[in-house]
């Protein structure tokens, strides 16, 4: 496994199908890419096939970690396997994909439990960007935060 790929895993008390439905719907997912900095994807439809794309408005001003401010990011699905895997390539909406890939791997443990791995691969990212985001420490923490949020979403009482 490449040292450029980092991951975090959490066992979540929900079916793989339920979790897949959450992570394949970018609307309202404020941490869908693992960064915990997304604002919203108000016009996005659930992701159903390779090539599907969605743009999310991003805002790092409140985080104060790197001076990127507000911008939009284009996300393009690169792999999708219902109830098993969702992966997408992320880049600037203005410049096109930069090559960093985010995704989820779902491994059913039973009817109501799933091992969920959130990962990112920055193989094609420049050293300058890596230094700014303190790779891999900050992305690893962000992946853990995203799994915690996903756990809350997947196990929330149905209303």
Q: Which domains does the chain have, with CATH numbers?
A: 12-154 (3.30.530.20)
3-state SS, residue 78: strand
Interhelix angle 137-155/16-23, nearest 10 degrees: 120
pLDDT of residue 128: 76
Preceding amide of 136 cis, omega within 30: yes
- Structure pTM? 0.81
Short-list 66, 65, 90, 67, CA closest to 77? 90
**Strand (E) or helix (H) holding 138:** helix 137-155
- The confidence score (pLDDT) of residue 16 equals 95
Which residues are paired to 155 by β-bridges?
A: none
Tens-digit pLDDT string for the chain (159 aa) = 446 888 999 999 999 999 999 989 887 554 544 455 555 677 788 999 999 988 877 765 555 555 556 777 788 899 999 999 999 888 765 555 566 788 999 999 988 999 999 998 877 777 777 777 777 777 788 788 888 888 988 998 877
């Amino acid at each position: 496994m490449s040292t450029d790929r980092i991951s975090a895993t959490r066992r979540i008390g929900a079916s793989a199908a339920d979790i897949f439905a959450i992570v394949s719907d970018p609307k309202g997912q404020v941490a869908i890419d693992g960064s915990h900095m997304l604002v919203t994807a108000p016009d996005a439809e659930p992701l159903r096939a390779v090539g599907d794309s969605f743009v999310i408005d991003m805002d790092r001003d409140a985080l104060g970690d790197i001076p990127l401010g507000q911008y939009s990011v284009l996300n393009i699905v690169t792999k999708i396997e219902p109830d098993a895997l969702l992966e997408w390539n992320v880049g600037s909406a203005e410049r096109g994909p930069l090559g960093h890939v985010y995704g989820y791997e779902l491994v059913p443990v039973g009817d109501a439990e799933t091992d969920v791995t959130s990962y990112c691969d920055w193989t094609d990212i420049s050293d300058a960007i890596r230094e700014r985001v303190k790779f891999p420490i900050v992305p690893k923490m962000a992946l853990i935060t995203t799994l915690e949020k996903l756990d809350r979403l997947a196990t929330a009482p149905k209303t």
